[in-house]
Amino acid sequence: MAGMVTDMDTVKLKVLNAAGHTRMVSEAGEQASLVYTGAYAEGDRIALSVSRPEGYYVIQLEDTLPPALVYVTQAEVFYTIPNGSDLIVFSPKSFSGSRHLIRARAASPEEVARRRNLALNPFDRHSNTGIFPHAEANVETRGEAVFAAYNAIDGIYENSSHGEWPYQSWGINRDPKAEWTLRFGRSVCIDELRMTLRADFPHDSWWEEAAVEFSDGSREILSLSKSAQPQVFSIVPRVVEWLTLKELKKAADISPFPALTQFEAWGTEAQK
């Protein structure tokens, strides 16, 4: 299994300002905890340093968000603190005030080995280049954060409205050629997909069919229905590094606004 962490793997956390100067730093250890006692300013970012790139870590870079098991591909990765209009996809309590608890640790072999939703990453952002999974798309409605690709893997399933937290989604800007890609950063074995469509009916429409193309060249065609519940699809297990949701066929209703609230990819790490 690629990148399995050991008892000797360590992590370190820093808060940096826009100029790259260190505001606060933790000790390096198998787990790191940093209580930053200051209000975040525009351009501030969190730096996560790991002793073993291409390894598994559990991170909680904001205390109002849940911890997440992620795959880190670089010795140092950065998370820019959301600011301004980007904050619309977070609780009003998130990143606010002058006391912030930031935590990270090496994942245990048992955590890494279990079957789980391999798409989940509430800390994904457009600027993310080293923390996986990572979502991206060829179109996002008006370029607004509340319709960004990463919203579909943040673990929030509220879908009865739209336009602000907790109703963020991936919006396709009415583009029939919209595509959404999920990158795992390593090989994983996927055996089940789940899609939760945005269901702000009658404002919203829905997709009746979608194709999923995998990095191994295989495809699945998913038949979808008008539902607010997660729609579950068992698939032939396959080892892949990424998948793309595409060929989205909208229902023949009056609304032009189908959208994706959550996408799940269930499975395990690929065995080496």
- Scored b (16 or more CB within 10 A) or e, 113-130 reads eeebbbbbbbbbbbebeb
pLDDT digits (tens, 9 = 90+) for 178-224: 999 999 999 999 999 999 999 999 999 999 999 999 999 999 999 99
pLDDT value at residue 17 = 97
The pTM of the full predicted model, rounded to 2 decimals, is 0.95
Q: 5 pLDDT band (50/70/90 cuts)?
A: very low
Phi-psi group of 142: left, alpha or beta (phi > 0 → left; psi -120 to 50 → alpha; rest → beta): left
pLDDT digits (tens, 9 = 90+) for 121-174: 999 999 998 999 999 999 999 999 999 999 999 999 999 999 999 999 999 999
pLDDT digits (tens, 9 = 90+) for 230-240: 999 999 999 99
Range 131-269: architecture per CATH: Sandwich (2.60)
Of 114, 112, 131, 115, nearest to 123 (Cα)? 131
pLDDT digits (tens, 9 = 90+) for 60-117: 999 999 999 999 999 999 999 999 999 999 999 999 999 999 999 999 999 999 999 9
Q: How far is CA 38 from CA 17, 24, 94, 95, 226, in A?
A: 11, 10, 14, 11, 46
Phi-psi group of 235: left, alpha or beta (phi > 0 → left; psi -120 to 50 → alpha; rest → beta): beta
Q: Look at residue 45 and tell me whether its pLDDT is greater than 70.
A: yes
pLDDT value at residue 271 = 85
pLDDT value at residue 7 = 56
